[in-house]
Amino acid sequence: MLSRDGDPPEAGLTPAPAEGLNGPQAEAAAHVDGPMVVFAGAGSGKTRVITYRIANLLAACRVPPYRILAVTFTNKAAGEMKRRLERICGPELVRDLWVGTFHATCARLLRRHHEAAGLGKNFIVYDDDDQRAVMSRVFKELKIDDKRHPMRLVMGRIHREKQDGLLAADFTPGNPTEEVVARCFSEYERRLADANAVDFDDLLIRVLRIVEDERSAAGEELRKKFLHVLVDEFQDVNQVQYRLVRGLSRRSTNLFVVGDDDQSIYRWRGADVRIVRNFRRDHPGARIVKLEENYRSTSSVVTAALGVIRPATDREPKELWTNNPPGEPVAVVACATERDEAAFVAERVRELVDQGVSPADVAIFYRVHAQSRVLEEVLRSERLPFQVIGGVRFFERAEVKDLVSYLRVITNPRSDVDLLRIINVPSRKIGDTTVEKLAGLAAELKVPLFEALEPLVRSDRVGPQPKKALARLHALLSDLMTAADTAGPRDLAERVLDETGYARMLEAEGTDEAEGRLLNLRELLGSIEEYERETLAAAEVPTLAGYLEKVALVAVTDELKDAPKVAMMTVHAAKGLEFSHVFLTGMEEDMFPFRSMDPARSGDVEEERRLAYVAITRARARLWIFHAERRMVFGATKYGMPSRFLADLPKEVVTQQKTETMRSSQGRFIDRDGWGAKRPEASQGAPRLSWSHPQARTGGGLERPRLAAPSSERTPGERFIERDDDAPRAASLRRPAPVDVPAPRGLGPGSQVEHPSFGMGVVLEVDGSPDPTATVKFSGWSTKRIKVRFLEVVHQR
DNA sequence: GAATGGCCCGGCTGC
DNA sequence: CGGGCCATTC
């Protein structure tokens, strides 16, 4: 259960056993040898099982924490699991556990083994945006016509290859289009390598390649490192992730996975349900446990969920049940428009809040982000506090990315896309022409753009004005790089804002928009500060690289704050969460199940069905499901009939309702029953377009002031940054071990030291030899014996 | 070299 | 409907 801390059990519901676990749960937590798969139905307490299993491994089996790896689906889930474990086992043991997402875990392992992966130490992680920027440079250089070969298709293809663990060298083109893909693929790879950067897929593939390399010493270390590997949400792993955990657990054979094939909703990004279904086949002798009792929801909700999932084909046989009382029926609400829908939602939320329900116990789900806008507008006008998860994400905002790019250039000057991003922001009179000349020279010299700056200034290829501008930029960045050696991440960020003139540029603008951007930057500084605090609290050294890594890997759900606000998110983002009151909007054919315009990407109705199941099972006590007669989709009015999934809801647990608007307009497109309605024929057309309701108006007076005063943009609804308890423990990057400095005298037990590969550690003992060796306990690693001269002393005892 | 306005095209879910 | 790209203009 990933609910917020301290959630009280709903009135009338049986809480999960307070102490100990029920039969199957206990079995899953206790049998600690060999492979094991747990089929855990929604709300059956799987997080609890994993948590207790780890506690058991630590306390009863005395497994060293740094030899346990637990892979979670989000950073937030990792943080919550750690917090729960701390309460059971105490912070000492928990600190050294490896708990994190696939990506965060791989990033951390890759810091240690960057050499085996052919990466520089301070490699950075490129997000989608960066990947696109790189690829558009590739297209330019290879002179590929974006019309004939749309970039997103090329990138999509490469992405799919990489999800199967394949790189450019493994790709054999079979047709002219693939020919183009192949060329882009290798050029893209080359550019990332030159930039000392990896993308999300690389993060996993690089580690996988090391793990699967029989001859590599690093591979051997990784294969031996973990005595226990546990994976949550196993139904959503892809082939690369599966091979990874197989490799990491091959020696120990202690691979423990928990999943629910009914909740597999990420096939579109490479997840493969067959992996969990075939687990037994792939692991002969694997123990199987099924958790089928739902502790979370009322029986009405469970019954509704079962109705939706039962028609699904090809499921692992299992039967979810609950002892909980029926509670309130599920309300299915017919609405006229999306605005009508939003108004009804807001009204109900208002009632709940007035009755004393915390807004934090309420969530609004939708299939696609685009649906959130109207809901936001109405909730804002009702002064209901809310937070939108995902959508235009904080770290994707231009100003935030700008500052992050500055910081990345400073840690890793080889990153061309970052330099290009900020080369003329704020305006320095370095335009396209100059940039192209710089790129040309860099290509000739075979150096990164940054290193071509000085040569270009010395050359006579550019005029005196650009020369001056380029020289100034070079001096500015060099200064900041020097400053990075001593200043902490937060101070450095502040200096960047100040010395680059970025802050001044925004202040000078004086618009509300600029004001908002400044506010976001301040928030970014706040997040760096928080990172510093958390890292120090964990007795580690905050580094810019550590922060940047964290930034790159925040997941949407990590953004959910513990705040008394209604949470609004896509159903995908809702996975793993639970709320006492849930509003599920947009349950119409073509919307949910979603149907893409592009027949090539026509969705998978089975997956949509599972998605609906996930949505329903998030609700503990009350669930409302909405469908609207018509809805504005991409600027055009679309008429939708109720989703087929509504017809699968058992009638006995459902009440049907209509909004006020629907009642007054006699629900003209919905038959009396509410479902099985026909899509209105075009011939019925004319009157419905002229039909007008004050709320149905588009364009008049209800527009949201998009760039309006930032304060009103942020409250009561706000988009914000993550608060993540799982700070990565990256080694210091800009401080090489002081090889020629004599070992500090008096370095005794208890001293805090830092090592470039292993990160922070505590000295247990030091021998008295002329070139002393220290025994050091590193967080996340076993105790190591290391020459003192390779250690940097952080705190001397 | 920068700023502005028009136009086209995509149009989901996300680490 | 909205973002990104291009052409035009200062």
Residue A631: active-site member = no
Q: What tens digit of pLDDT does each residue of A192-248 get?
A: 999 999 999 999 999 999 999 999 999 999 999 999 999 999 999 999 999 999 999
Instruction: Calculate mean pLDDT across residues A63-87.
Output: 93
3-state secondary structure of A366: strand
Gap from A156 CA to B9 C1', in Å? 18
Q: Which amino acid is at A384?
A: L
Number of residues written out for chain A: 797
A700 beta carbon to strand C: under 7 Å: no
Nucleotide nearest to A698 (CA to C1'): C1
**Distance in angstroms (rounded) separating the CA atoms of residues A255 and A257:** 6
CB of A449 within 8 A of CB of A438? yes
Residues in CB range of A558: below 8 A, 6 or more apart: A74, A75, A76, A722, A723, A724
CB of A41 within 8 A of CB of A294? yes
* Percentage of the residues of chain A whose pLDDT score is greater than 90: 57
Residue nearest to nucleotide B13 (CA to C1'): A572
3-state secondary structure of A686: helix
Give residue A675's pLDDT.
43
Residue A233: active-site member = yes
- As beta bridge partners, residue A365 has A569, A584
Residue A714's pLDDT band, with cuts at 50, 70 and 90, is: very low
Give residue A601's pLDDT.
63
Residues in CB range of A556: below 8 A, 6 or more apart: A389, A390, A393, A569, A573
Residue A796's pLDDT band, with cuts at 50, 70 and 90, is: confident
Catalytic pick among A74, A131, A263, A557: A263
Catalytic pick among A618, A622, A644, A729: A618
Give residue A566's pLDDT.
96
Nucleotide nearest to A101 (CA to C1'): B15
Residue A232: active-site member = yes
Three-state SS string over A118-171 comes to CCCCCCEEECHHHHHHHHHHHHHHHCCCCCCCCHHHHHHHHHHHHHCCCCHHHC
3-state secondary structure of A18: coil
Nearest 5°: CA angle at A461, between A460 and A466? Answer: 95
Give residue A673's pLDDT.
41
Gap from A306 CA to C5 C1', in Å? 49
User: How many C-beta atoms lie closer than 10 Å to residue A444's C-beta?
Assistant: 10
**Distance in angstroms (rounded) separating the CA atoms of residues A171 and A173:** 6
| Terminal C-alpha separation, chain A | 42
| Chain B footprint bases within 7 A of protein beta carbons | 1-3, 10-15
**Distance in angstroms (rounded) separating the CA atoms of residues A493 and A473:** 17
| Chain C footprint bases within 7 A of protein beta carbons | 1-2, 5
User: Which strand (E) or helix (H) includes residue A176?
Assistant: helix A176-194
| Alpha helices for A538-588 (secondary structure H) | 544-552, 571-574
Residue A561, both tokens:
């704050």
Footprint of strand B on the protein (CB under 7 A): A 74, 101-104, 128, 150, 152, 159, 200-201, 268-269, 367-370, 390, 424, 427-434, 466, 553, 555-557, 569-570, 572-573, 594, 596-598, 601, 603, 634-636
Please indicate whether residue A731 or residue A277 has the higher confidence score (pLDDT).
A277
Three-state SS string over A700-733 comes to CCCCCCCCCCHHHHHCCEECCCCCCCCCCCCCCC
Strongest mean pLDDT among A396-400, A578-582, A680-684: A578-582
* Percentage of the residues of chain A whose pLDDT score is greater than 70: 86
Nucleic strand C contacts from chain A, 229-288, CB < 7 Å: none
Burial class of residue A221, CB neighbours in 10 A (0-12, 13-18, 19+): middle
Please indicate whether residue A788 or residue A614 has the higher confidence score (pLDDT).
A614
Residue A328, both tokens:
């309130």
Give residue A685's pLDDT.
30
Q: Are strands A773-778 and A783-787 parallel, antiparallel or unpaired?
A: antiparallel
Among the residue ranges A216-225, A617-626, A662-671, A724-733, the one predicted with the least confidence is A724-733
Instruction: Calculate mean pLDDT across residues A619-629.
Output: 96
Please determine, for residue A316, whether its predicted confidence score (pLDDT) is greater than 50. Answer: yes
* Residue whose structure tokens are 């699991």: A81
Instruction: Calculate mean pLDDT across residues A138-161.
Output: 88
Residue A162: active-site member = no
Nucleotide nearest to A463 (CA to C1'): B1
Gap from A569 CA to B12 C1', in Å? 13
* Residue whose structure tokens are 């925004």: A506
CB of A629 within 8 A of CB of A640? yes
Instruction: Tell how far CA A207 is from the center of its chain.
Output: 19
Three-state SS string over A321-340 comes to ECCCCCCCCEEEEEECCHHH
**Distance in angstroms (rounded) separating the CA atoms of residues A748 and A793:** 11
Nearest 5°: CA angle at A65, between A213 and A30? Answer: 100
Please determine, for residue A696, whether its predicted confidence score (pLDDT) is greater than 80. Answer: no
Residue A373: active-site member = no
Burial class of residue A186, CB neighbours in 10 A (0-12, 13-18, 19+): middle
A599 beta carbon to strand C: under 7 Å: no
Catalytic pick among A10, A161, A232, A316: A232
Indicate the average pLDDT of chain A. Answer: 84
Instruction: Calculate mean pLDDT across residues A561-577.
Output: 93
Catalytic pick among A96, A199, A233, A376: A233
Gap from A368 CA to B4 C1', in Å? 32
Please determine, for residue A718, whether its predicted confidence score (pLDDT) is greater than 80. Answer: no
Gap from A189 CA to B7 C1', in Å? 34
Nucleic strand C contacts from chain A, 119-138, CB < 7 Å: 136
Please determine, for residue A542, whether its predicted confidence score (pLDDT) is greater than 50. Answer: yes
Nucleotide nearest to A572 (CA to C1'): B13
**Phi and psi, residue A547, nearest 5°:** -65, -45
**Distance in angstroms (rounded) separating the CA atoms of residues A620 and A43:** 9
Gap from A431 CA to B2 C1', in Å? 9
**Distance in angstroms (rounded) separating the CA atoms of residues A251 and A756:** 27
Residue A599's pLDDT band, with cuts at 50, 70 and 90, is: low
Instruction: Calculate mean pLDDT across residues A705-732.
Output: 31
* Residue whose structure tokens are 């770290």: A395
Q: Are strands A197-199 and A36-40 parallel, antiparallel or unpaired?
A: unpaired
Nucleotide nearest to A151 (CA to C1'): B10
3-state secondary structure of A256: strand
Give residue A11's pLDDT.
35
Instruction: Calculate mean pLDDT across residues A586-600.
Output: 85
Please indicate whether residue A582 or residue A740 has the higher confidence score (pLDDT).
A582
User: Which strand (E) or helix (H) includes residue A754?
Assistant: strand A752-755
Q: What tens digit of pLDDT does each residue of A436-488 get?
A: 889 989 999 999 999 999 999 999 888 888 899 999 999 999 999 999 999 99
**Distance in angstroms (rounded) separating the CA atoms of residues A382 and A343:** 9
Residue A20's pLDDT band, with cuts at 50, 70 and 90, is: low
Catalytic pick among A10, A25, A46, A428: A46
Give residue A746's pLDDT.
64
Gap from A652 CA to B15 C1', in Å? 40
- CA diameter of chain A: 95
Q: What tens digit of pLDDT does each residue of A90-105 get?
A: 888 898 999 999 999 9
Over the range A107-117, which residues count as b (16 or more CB within 10 Å of their CB) and which as e? bbbbbbbbebb
Q: Model pTM?
A: 0.83
Gap from A597 CA to B7 C1', in Å? 22
Residue nearest to nucleotide B12 (CA to C1'): A368
**Phi and psi, residue A419, nearest 5°:** -65, -45
Nucleotide nearest to A75 (CA to C1'): B15
Instruction: Calculate mean pLDDT across residues A566-577.
Output: 94
Gap from A313 CA to B11 C1', in Å? 29
3-state percent helix, strand, coil for chain A, nearest multiple of 5: 50, 15, 40
Give residue A715's pLDDT.
38
Instruction: Calculate mean pLDDT across residues A61-85.
Output: 93
Give residue A55's pLDDT.
94
Residue A168's pLDDT band, with cuts at 50, 70 and 90, is: very high
Q: What tens digit of pLDDT does each residue of A278-290 get?
A: 999 999 999 999 9
**Phi and psi, residue A630, nearest 5°:** -145, 160
User: How many C-beta atoms lie closer than 10 Å to residue A486's C-beta?
Assistant: 10
Among the residue ranges A3-12, A231-240, A470-479, A788-797, the one predicted with the least confidence is A3-12
DSSP string, A447-503: --HHHHHHHHHHSSSS-HHHHHHHHHHHHHHHHHHHHHHHS-HHHHHHHHHHHTSHH
| Alpha helices for A23-121 (secondary structure H) | 23-30, 46-59, 75-89, 91-95, 102-112
Give residue A684's pLDDT.
34
CB of A795 within 8 A of CB of A783? no
Please state, in angstroms and as integers, the Cα–Cα distance from residue A286 to each residue in A111, A154, A279, following that order: 33, 40, 8
Residue A4's pLDDT band, with cuts at 50, 70 and 90, is: very low
Please determine, for residue A7, whether its predicted confidence score (pLDDT) is greater than 60. Answer: no
- As beta bridge partners, residue A38 has A258, A289
Q: What tens digit of pLDDT does each residue of A365-382 get?
A: 999 999 999 999 999 999
Nucleotide nearest to A635 (CA to C1'): C1
Over the range A316-330, which residues count as b (16 or more CB within 10 Å of their CB) and which as e? beeebebebeebebb
Give residue A757's pLDDT.
73
Gap from A651 CA to C5 C1', in Å? 52
Over the range A235-273, which residues count as b (16 or more CB within 10 Å of their CB) and which as e? bbbbbbbbbbbbbbbeebebbbbbbbbbbbbbbeebbbb
Among the residue ranges A90-104, A300-314, A474-488, A534-548, the one predicted with the least confidence is A534-548
Q: Which amino acid is at A694?
A: P
**Distance in angstroms (rounded) separating the CA atoms of residues A245 and A172:** 28
3-state secondary structure of A408: helix
